[in-house]
Amino acid sequence: MRINPNNFFKRELDILPPHFVNTVVKAHEADVEKMRRWIYEHCSGRYSSTKDVVYDGENSSTVTVLGFEEPGDLTLFALSGIAQEHQK
């Protein structure tokens, strides 16, 4: 097991700071929890998981916005394919 020294501090934020790079994920809450655990175990920087509402004409849907302080963490997450596995 690899120990990440950044885990001694709160890495997951409750808000999405403006300097974070982000991606929008449409997935169920259980799948989002799997993604958050994967990010915690495999990425090294701070990240956030927030909810947002997307409007499409008269319809609206809830999405999860995953933000990463380090752009390389977003690249690693995208290349892992975990988000594509859990899309609705």
Q: Per-residue pLDDT tens for 15-70?
A: 999 999 999 998 889 999 999 999 998 998 999 999 999 998 899 999 999 999 99
Q: Do residues 39 and 77 touch, judged by C-beta distance below 8 A? A: yes
Mean pLDDT of 83-87: 69
Confidence class for position 1, pLDDT limits 50, 70, 90:
low
Other beta carbons less than 10 A from residue 40's beta carbon: 13
Residues 66 and 87: beta-carbon distance below 8 Å = no
Residue 67 near residue 12 (C-beta atoms within 8 A): no
The model's pLDDT over 4-13, given as tens digits with 9 standing for 90+, comes to 677 677 899 9
Q: What is the pTM (predicted TM-score) of this model?
A: 0.84
pLDDT reported for residue 87: 59
